[in-house]
Structure 1
């Protein structure tokens, strides 16, 4: 009897709170705070859920029959029901031992359509909005969707987009929803103004930042889209530019964008304080880590007293020291540079402090922002994983690797506190960019082979897996044809081994005197040795076939005459290459070296027997920071030795316009006398080239146009193919050319047009003054 009284008292307490607990527009209304803590119901009665279903309501109610509940349970249940989006009103009341849940249902969306959109397609907008077919019709959700659509249009430079909705009833409780979009005009950038800059002009600084002024081709590049986050990134780019050129005190005082609503154009104003330019003063290394010799680490420092101050060189030194200390068994050691400014002498002394640092471990690596590239493609660039000791220099190295991939327009890595004081979460934010390209190469040889064309399609991040694939085809008016397919898996079996293959086929006809066909493939493996040095091993198999006239064969030595009778010739070779690369930029390097050396042996079966050595090195140097003048110098050489009885034309080196501009491909070196002086190739070559490029005068630097002047020289000599009486040009005669070119970082990719005039040549050389090439990004 007493137990029954306690239950009735509890129910009465709920009833006294006005008998009903209701919520409208998301506000919970309780008549009293005195809802009994010990209230118990035996049953839940759901009313009004005709479309959603009673079970869907009960699953969101935290109150369970036979268990006590409180105001907190009621509040949570109401919130859960509203969060589903299916209800416009929720009421709860207790009747006897029954909890009555009364709901008013929102209408359901039958179909979602988009009208007026052209710049962003339906499939993209569908992924942006949260209102979906068979989902609830919610005004709050639709307002949020409108905001999302506007943000998507702002990202492509259409800030004045207008979005409204239209609703049509199609059945009781069901509606069709249409988002009506007025895309408006593109919001452009009229000008970018710099204030406070003395050392560098506006044009030079405009080339540093990613945001560009609008121009007739901006609809392709999309670089004239204003974005606040992008402007903040531009500020950092300016700081790094100044820090790397001696201005350690540079500050961005302000940056803002003013929109002219009449013209729908932004004016961007950036105010900076350059400060004083410094050189490096005294450089030292100190270590507080027992067992680490500071004197030994000094050899790793790339900053030197008297050099122009550069934050990049300091970072490079820190990485080298950290890597060496970690290799010695000190994973938690950290390197901190301590600067000592002397404004009187304009120097900054740097002491690299090595200490044990705090013990911290990587809890996890969070990948964010990648819409196309797979997570594992990003994660594998880190030489660190969950549970490893945290090392800032390894994180910096991973950031450089991710940027070097060319998959992302931006890479930002930050850290966050983990679940414990000694746990760190690494947060990687990236933004995918286009990685496909379409390329066209062209050349013209007056009076020679005529027009030469090549087209190619490549993808550097195939299916977001980081794989590389390229397909190309070429043809010339001399009946030549080429076909190539390449594929590379950069991380074979999870190791940092780039494994790939190349398949190729080519054919050419030489003025009715011979036909040449080549078919083959290459297997290759590339492994890194250091961050800047890599080695590649290749196996190549070729099948070659010549068919020539009897007259043409008479000048050839045996057994080469057997080959031109139409018998296939097999070339089976292995090679190893070393590549050293310290370039600071893939597309427009200002500083660094790119060098390669290869040795190759043929004779693993097949008919060719030789040993080749060849290589090339090119160094880039900024000649003027203020005017952005870049100089480069390159040298190349090669030699082939027969390991059997003979060399053949395709075993020897060919040289021409790719190395010495002003000549056509295979345009210099030993040639057959008569019969149009067909190229035979040579056993030895040397090349040298010097070039300087600068922004084109009277053209805004952010247009991407540069002019170049160059001088090339080279020689190809030696012959092991034909009888001496039938060959000319076996001596070491040098050729040279001078020329000028126009380089454009176009929306289609780097485009170049060169004109070169040979100033030293032989009478039998073949000349090609004009050369054009283009690589198109899409």
Structure 2
């Protein structure tokens, strides 16, 4: 019979007791070394006896003694007690191999490695070194933890049990492993956090003797929402903007998007939110939203002298948060002989286009953000008598009213329905414009040059085209549209997509009607914290006898930049246009420590742009007026966000396609708001 001294790790669940056990083993090894010097065979002289070989007729035995380090080699390493965990897996972490020198420190490290696998009861993990005729036999005895038979989950709502179970599927039928269990818990919490549920956590893990493991999950439910800081704005306006309600699981991603949209309404200077455990239920949270309001009312009075078209005056009054209910009330008026102030002189060709005649424009608008069922209503009445944007050397008088309804359908989809009634009158003013008397003569000359007509027919053709340009009428329109909007902000977005499809059948009350169909797609890609790539493609088509003022136009402040506003590019019943803009904060301001520079940085951006487009369906008119149906341009610009006014665009564009009149000179174009 063989006898031996065994070295084992016996500890409670406490890591402190575990390492105390290791120290005890080290102490035993040290005592063995202190009992005396070793002989050449490496056995303790005082305690070890020579083995009697089986050949001499005796039993192989080692009398009670101790194995000590010396020239002994490891004859074999044997794993005992494992059932579900393979010997190969255990030996994979054991560094002591057959033929190695017996090293007590390495044996202790092997015990630690086996224990770190997590499958075994550390209170019954031990190693038993025994002398053999060939050296030392290391017996490593393990006791596996109880096998896991099932997992159960409580408290999960937003993540399904099936989805959570996938993180634990590999552990079923294996001994309970604290390492694997901890790793799976981390994966579950990470899955919550990746979806925006940042408060979710596993609060308790229970294991039963039958092998079942139960996990309690606190997903982070909002107990109540508190709003503060608003003096004018009603609480319901803020609460309605937050889709998260008491009883729902907190989602950081959704809340950030809601607050960003609320901020874009322009009611607040700042919006802050915080979370605290609910005093009524510590497992739930109180969401606190604190706002800092800013002035939303404005009164404007101005005037000036357009160096081409004459003096003008303007008056405006409005409030974008009327009565603190998010309602919009605006009244804007302008009178004089200047059209849009000095912008006309900048954006177009000059005195050959603008007439020095009395003009006016007035518009009153009221917007109710929620008339019920989450539907917005906007009512507007307008009157304008201006130099026409669509027909050169003509006045366009428009009187009308409109009402529009907008309703979100969910999943970033919005439905819009508009009704408009307007009466449009066109008046020729070519005789009031410098060199304007040459307009009809120029059209006659072009008809002859292009071969469109000859002799007296050229006059009648030019006169017919001009009369068609000046056709007005009364119309009633219905304008349904649908949009898909994932932009992170309405103003100056940095990420997201905006898709829009619209149609607008117009009933002619004094003549023939027409229908317009349009589509637009915008994409915003955030390149870095300071730079955004914005792209847009839009197109439209008009069916029926559409008047000139209702056609599509490549030019103007919202069209191709770099061309004269009226004389460079034509109009048509079909249009396709594409734009790319690289919008960036200015590095010399963004990276400055100067307070003034930082303040300016918040309201100023630079732009590099490229425009390209084409119109069709009005080729004869464009030809007689020497207008291009195709255009392209590139240039640079700035965006200035002026308080109480909004975004002002100043662009300097270079035409890449020459107009029929040979215009290739770079031009400045000024406009309001982003083009898309």
Question: Distance between the aligned counterparts of 1:769 and 1:540, measured in 2?
Answer: 35
- What does residue 520 of structure 2 align with? 616
Match of 1:496 among 363, 371, 374: 374
Distance across 1 between alignment mates of 2:315 and 2:633: 27
CA change 1:454–1:764 in 2 (3 A) is: farther
Is 1:545 the equivalent of 2:449?
no
Partner of 2:533: 631
Name the CA shift for 1:420/1:603 in 2 (closer, same or farther; >3 Å).
same
Q: How many residues align?
A: 424
Which residue of the partner structure matches residue 68 of structure 2?
none
Question: Equivalences for 1:243-258 in 2 at 5 Å?
Answer: none
Q: Secondary structure at the match of 1:603?
A: strand
Residues 429-477 of structure 1: CA distance to partner in whole angstroms, max 9, x if unpaired?
2221233467999999999x79999886553212211112333345415
The correspondence for 1:463, drawn from 323, 327, 336, is: 323
- 3-state SS in 2 of match to 1:589: coil
| 1:574 aligned counterpart, secondary structure | strand
Determine whether 1:652 maps to 2:519. no
Q: How does 1:315-464 map to 2 (within 5 A)?
A: 318=195, 364-383=224-243, 389-393=247-251, 398-408=258-268, 409-419=270-280, 425-436=286-297, 458-464=318-324
Partner residue, 2:473: 569
Q: Are the equivalent residues in 1 in contact too, given 2:486–2:496 (CA < 8 A)?
A: yes
Change over 3 Å in CA distance of 1:633–1:361 after alignment to 2: closer
Note the C-alpha offset of 1:487: 1.8
Q: State the shift of 1:632 in Å.
A: 2.1
By how many angstroms is 1:527 displaced? 0.6
Deviation at 1:384, TM superposition (A): 5.7
Q: Quote how far apart the aligned CAs of 1:719 are.
A: 2.3
Deviation at 1:689, TM superposition (A): 1.7
**Whole-Å Cα distance in 1 between the matches of residues 518 and 300 of structure 2?**
27
Task: Report the structure, 1 or 2, having the larger strand content.
Answer: 1
Tell me the SS of whatever aligns to 1:379: helix
Contact 2:532–2:584 (Cα < 8 Å) also in 1: yes
CA contact (8 A) 1:614 1:638 kept: yes
Aligned-residue offset at 1:683: 0.5
SS at match of 1:380: helix
1:505 aligns with 2:395: no
* TM-score when normalising by structure 1: 0.46
Closer, same or farther: CA 547–554 of 1 in aligned 2, 3 Å = farther
Shift of 1:573: 1.0
Q: What do residues 584-635 of structure 1 show as CA deviations (whole Å, max 9, x unaligned)?
A: 344443322233332111127553422212233332223344xx23322222
1:770 shift after superposition: 1.6
1:762 aligned partner = 659
Instruction: Give 3-state SS (helix, strand or coil) of 1:529's partner.
Output: strand
Displacement of 1:537 in angstroms is 0.7
What is the aligned counterpart of 1:682 among 572, 575, 588? 572
Deviation at 1:696, TM superposition (A): 3.2
CA distance in 1, matches of 2:608, 2:655: 14
CA deviations 1:534-562 (Å, max 9, x no partner) are 12110111111234499979548999959
Q: 1:621 to 1:395 in 2, by over 3 A?
A: closer
Q: Which residue of 1 aligns with 2:561?
A: 661
CA distance in 2, matches of 1:696, 1:467: 35
Deviation at 1:496, TM superposition (A): 1.3
Relative to 1, partners in 2 of residues 1:432 and 1:765: Cα closer, same or farther, differing over 3 Å?
farther
Q: 1:736 to 1:641 in 2, by over 3 A?
A: same
- Pair 607,413 (structure 1): closer, same or farther in 2 beyond 3 Å: farther
After TM superposition, list the pairs within 5 Å mapping 1:693-704 onto structure 2: 693-699=583-589, 700=592, 702=598, 703-704=600-601
Instruction: Kindly indicate whether residue 635 of structure 2 is the aligned counterpart of residue 739 of structure 1.
Output: yes
Unaligned runs of 5+ in 2: 1-153, 168-189, 204-214, 340-353, 431-438, 441-458
CA distance, structure 2, for counterparts of residue 316 and residue 602 of structure 1 = 51
> Secondary structure of 1:392's match?
coil
Question: What secondary structure, in the 3-state scheme, does the structure 2 residue paired with 1:391 have?
Answer: coil
SS of the counterpart of 2:572?
coil
SS at match of 1:760: coil
Alignment match of 1:640 (pick from 527, 530, 542): 542
Contact 2:474 2:508 in 1 (8 A): no
Q: Alpha-carbon deviations, 1:185-218, whole Å to 9, x = none?
A: xxxxxxxxxxxxxxxxxxxxxxxxxxxxxxxxxx
Question: Are residues 435 and 641 of structure 1, via their aligned partners in 2, closer, same or farther at CA, if it must alter by over 3 Å?
Answer: same
Q: Distance in 1 between matches of 2:377 and 2:482?
A: 16
CA distance in 2, matches of 1:489, 1:533: 20
Given that residues 470 and 548 in structure 2 are in contact (C-alpha distance below 8 angstroms), is that contact kept between their aligned partners in structure 1?
A: no
CA contact (8 A) 1:525 1:536 kept: yes
1:392, distance to aligned residue in structure 2 (A):
1.2
Other structure's SS at 2:575 match: strand
Q: Is the 8 A contact 2:610 2:634 kept in 1?
A: yes
Aligned counterparts, 1:127-276, within 5 A: none
Corresponding residue for residue 13 of structure 2: none
* Structure-2 separation of matches of 1:438 and 1:558: 46
Larger Rg: 2
> In the alignment, which residue of structure 2 is the partner of 1:188?
none
TM-score computed with the length of structure 2 as normaliser: 0.52
Q: Tell me, yes or no, if the aligned pair for 2:626 and 2:661 is still in contact at 8 Å.
A: no
Could you tell me how far apart the structure 2 residues matched to 1:707 and 1:687 are? 22
d(CA) in 1 for partners of 2:485 and 2:299?
A: 25
Q: For the residues of structure 2 that align with 1:531 and 1:371, how far apart are their CA atoms?
A: 32
